[in-house]
Structure 1
Amino acid sequence: MVTLNTTVLKNGELLLGYQFYRMAHVSNSFQCARNCFFRRRCQSFNYNTKDESCELNNAHFDPPHVYLSKDPNFVYSKIGDWDDAIGFGPCSKRPCRICEACYPSESSYTCVKEELTSCRDVKICTNATSDGHYFIRPVMGTKPFVKIYCHLMSSKYPKDYVTLYKENYSKVPPINSQSCSTVDWNQGKPGVIYYWKIRLDVMNLRVVTDDRTFTNVSCDPSHFGISDQLSNNGKPCTVDEKYGVASDCMAYECEPKRGKFLIDLQGSGFIVQPSVMWIAGGFKGKITTFYRSPTNEVVTAVCGGNCGQCSPKKYLFLETKP
């Protein structure tokens, strides 16, 4: 009989961002470990002791690249630390291919090919090394196939991005906080940041809003209706606004506000999750106009304050387009 090996469990920790399969109603961490062992691409697992769910990861704790997070409801374990006896029966030798699952029967086993759920899966399962677009199915079996741009495919841990086919930006105007029109390029970090791809946590379709890999910035005064004579005189453009966020630092009574963001996912295969809401924040933040298209593909707002902003209430989640 195989006993539960508690010495290889890290209580109160979990690995985020590398899950390829989630299953419910798993009675204990031993059963979660077995499900991991029967899939060769599974390198570790997270077991939720509260709701008895099991998450299988295609990576493991690997500083400085992969770190663990804290959560009192979880137990984390690296499958390589377990004794092979966990895989007793026909699947004990892990006979299936790297992206197949082994399903044991009384005296034999069946290998079942499983779907690719991330760019790391694409790399592990196909040996692809070229950056480009690939079709994956986030969270195996629960969402439609989508086209994702895989970046850094020659590295150990490639990143997942959504390609944007329309203009997407965040604007921070260079207006002094003591006035409604005085140009001041030294206050805050004014400018426009354009996004051409956005990084996605494919497990839960959360946008990594501070990723700047596929962006460019501009401090061209024409973006704000400002005369060329009031340019920033060639100084580096330091605008650093997150995706889906805008702000300005004008005096509070100034109208209209001039901070503006535009999210336009048309053609990407994704929409903004309908439950995502935007709120005003910062000092005397105010949203003066807000628009969301009926399809949830386009969201835009004008906002600001003294210095104020508008941003998603917590996280910016996407959904696959129906």
Structure 2
Amino acid sequence: MVMVQSLATDVLESVKMVPFVIKLLPVLTVLATIHLPPKSVLLRSFNINVTGTFFKMQLDRTFIKSMFVAACISTTYSFKEFNYRKTGSGAPAVLDDPQHLQVQEVFGPTTCAILCSRLSCKEFQYSDTSHLCITRHSDAVSGNSVNPGSGFFDTFIDNKEDPKTCSEIKKENPAAHSGEYTIVPSAPQFRGMSVKVFCLMNDTHQLEYVTLPNENVGSYPKRSNGGCGHEVLYLPAAAVGKDGVTVYQKIRIIPSTMTVVRDDTTFTTGTKAEPHPFGRAEDCYSYKGNCKRIGTFHIDTQGTGMKFARGLRWTGDGYASKVDSVTRTHDGAVIDLVCGGWCAGCVPMEDMVLYPNSQDIQS
């Protein structure tokens, strides 16, 4: 009885899936013609009484058996059609980045493959024992936890290659112009997740940039207090013309690592003659170690779906340089730096690498 109910449920689900039904009907026809006695009736009664959203289905044992065999044949055929490749097996399921996972109970791996192919999904896991299907999506689709229980899961990935760089997009479509596109960076921390980037398309090269919805700005104040005794509203001779602000609209990234190219100032505006490298705060305020520093840089990656590592650190760079403060808010998506020295500042101690931010959605 449990088997009948499970099969009936999957039949209803399959009716909604046109590719599956198209494949299933010819197989059923062949089975009815070849495998069954001439006078037998494959389907004694298939009555559908519609009352609101309720369906009553009466299936005989012959139909159930035929449907089961047909589903098995369809499973093998569908995997070729949907072009999924098995990459491994194991227990328990792989649950990294759970906000990108969705767990459903299905009839078999074909149904799981169909669900994956209809959604923003490039990878799924299926368990023969529990009939659970875990689809991994490019976008966040759930909360921060899923519980598929224990069991042995096979992992399948879509053989179709998504563009990993803007160069691949240009190669596929030579007429592609500069603009916003979606890529799947090969950086390991993204595990097949899609990222929206701005592709700067030229005939000779194509570069990737992340558009920053919020203000990212560095400020080099026109103030100084060399001996930390009296502040003046001008700079020492060595710093004249270095003051001003730099506002970043986009930052360039390397898709293979998602590292920011800090000295690319293509998409910046501001009043500073020599723009700040991204993530550098600087001033020419004081040479005294006990005096405050007033150079600032404000980083805000909210709306990009990404953030920098929580462990990213800054260090002084230049004469009498000092890191006054590094303040993180919004789960690390916003970082405020206060640094400076005597015409000096602070820089990141490591590469500025972007990671998925499960608390944020791309704008």
TM-score band, normalised by shorter chain: 0.5 to 0.7
| Contact 1:207–1:317 (Cα < 8 Å) also in 2 | yes
Aligned length: 193
In structure 2, the gaps of 5 or more residues are: 1-157, 359-363
Partner of 1:14: none
Q: Distance in 1 between matches of 2:280 and 2:260?
A: 12
State the shift of 1:243 in Å: 0.5
- 1:1-322 mapped onto 2 (5 Å cutoff): 112-139=159-186, 142-151=191-200, 153-176=201-224, 178=226, 180-184=231-235, 187-188=238-239, 189-218=242-271, 237-253=272-288, 255-322=291-358
Letter in 1 for 2:210: V
User: Residues 185 and 198 (structure 1 numbering): CA distance in 2 closer, same or farther, change over 3 Å?
Assistant: farther
> Segments of 4+ in structure 1 off by > 6 A?
none
User: Residues 143 and 181 (structure 1 numbering): CA distance in 2 closer, same or farther, change over 3 Å?
Assistant: farther
Q: Distance in 1 between matches of 2:219 and 2:236?
A: 13
| Contact 1:248–1:306 (Cα < 8 Å) also in 2 | yes
Larger radius of gyration: 2
Report the structure, 1 or 2, having the larger helix content: 2
Q: Distance in 1 between matches of 2:237 and 2:302?
A: 35
State the shift of 1:185 in Å: 8.0
Report % sequence identity: 31
| Contact 2:218–2:246 (Cα < 8 Å) also in 1 | yes
Partner of 1:221: none
Q: Distance in 2 between matches of 1:150 and 1:304?
A: 34
State the shift of 1:287 in Å: 1.7
User: Residues 202 and 161 (structure 1 numbering): CA distance in 2 closer, same or farther, change over 3 Å?
Assistant: same
Q: How high is the TM-score relative to the length of structure 1? A: 0.55
Letter in 1 for 2:168: D
Q: Secondary structure at the match of 1:168?
A: strand
Which structure exhibits the higher relative contact order, with contacts defined as CA atoms closer than 8 Å and separated by 6 or more residues? 1
State the shift of 1:261 in Å: 0.2
User: Residues 146 and 305 (structure 1 numbering): CA distance in 2 closer, same or farther, change over 3 Å?
Assistant: same
1:104-150 C-alpha deviation (Å, 9 max, x unpaired): xxxxxxx9431210111111123342111111100088341010010
| Contact 1:210–1:243 (Cα < 8 Å) also in 2 | yes
| Contact 1:176–1:187 (Cα < 8 Å) also in 2 | no
| Contact 1:265–1:298 (Cα < 8 Å) also in 2 | yes
Letter in 1 for 2:161: E
| Contact 1:200–1:208 (Cα < 8 Å) also in 2 | yes
| Contact 1:174–1:187 (Cα < 8 Å) also in 2 | no
State the shift of 1:177 in Å: 6.5
In structure 1, the gaps of 5 or more residues are: 1-110, 219-236
Letter in 1 for 2:275: D
Q: Distance in 2 between matches of 1:298 and 1:207?
A: 16
Report the structure, 1 or 2, having the larger strand content: 1
Q: Distance in 2 between matches of 1:132 and 1:190?
A: 32
Q: Distance in 2 between matches of 1:273 and 1:120?
A: 27
